[in-house]
Amino acid sequence: MADEIPVIPKASSIFIHSGNIINWNRLKRKPSTTPVEEISECIGSTLQNYFESADKNELQYLTELNCVHQKFKEKVPSEERGDLKLTVKIFLCSLQTPDYVTESIEKALSELDVKHIETALLAFPETENEEITLETIQPYWKALERMVDKEVVWSIGIADLDKKMLEQLYEWAEIKPIINQVNLDSCCVMPKDLVEYAKLNDIQLLTHNDPRTVLPIETLQDVIREKSTEKDSEFWEPLWVLRYSVLIKCRGIIQSKGFILKTQRDPKRRK
């Protein structure tokens, strides 16, 4: 949009749901797309779809936007639910509150119209001055455990823990992690001590290629700017990104995949 008049001048938070990107032919033709590029394209396409169908006058007054790509939104078919496995990975972009874990899971349940998630994985952001410790993880893991207690999540796991941190979490946690995702870009070969500990405690080690920062602030603002105006893009920061995948169990085929995320901007910084 080339218009210099802000499209969403009062907006302070945005929920975005890409819908099922398996149906996005454009993404299918780009197998080398990085996770950051994939998320960026999903955000851009969803915002464009939302802005094109929204009432432009109403947008001027909205403080919270719920942007869903209506063309690709799909609920998980209830009649097929027993044959499907739903896995979500929650990327924390901010460590302000463990409520982000609860919020992201509840949003996924609502958007996909399901009563439970088979597996939820937790990924922590890369921080400049603060090391991720057990004390950092604990409140967020507790939030996951509460979801298991409510039976809306059946099993939980985590990403990027070395043997020492995984052991600390396992010994402390009431509900043990069943998965630890390892980024082989950072270690090339699975560490022997990690493999031995995981085997001893029945923890599955899976590989992934997700960066610690899946949605850089600058990337988010660039996408919003491209779909609205310069003024609209100021001061936005991602809070969390949830990626979901629905697998057909007996065939090992991904039926559905998408992103749900929340971003926020500080109203005090908008003048």
Q: Per residue in 112-163, pLDDT tens?
A: 999 999 999 999 998 776 788 999 999 999 999 999 999 999 999 999 999 9
Q: CA quadruple 257, 31, 47, 240: dihedral positive or negative? A: positive
Compute how many other C-beta atoms are within 10 angstroms of the C-beta atom of residue 134. 16
Helices (H), 130-262: 134-149, 163-172, 184-187, 192-200, 217-227
Whole-number pLDDT of residue 26 = 54
Q: Residue 270 has what pLDDT?
A: 52
The alpha-helical segments, DSSP class H, found in 150-260 are: 163-172, 184-187, 192-200, 217-227
**Spatial separation of the C-alpha atoms in residues 95 and 126, rounded to whole Å:** 11
10-residue averages of pLDDT along the chain (271 residues): 76 96 67 84 95 93 95 92 96 94 98 97 86 94 98 97 96 97 79 94 94 94 96 96 95 92 78 49
Amino acid in the structure at residue 269: R
What is the distance between the alpha carbons of residues 77 and 34, in angstroms, rounded to a whole number?
Answer: 29
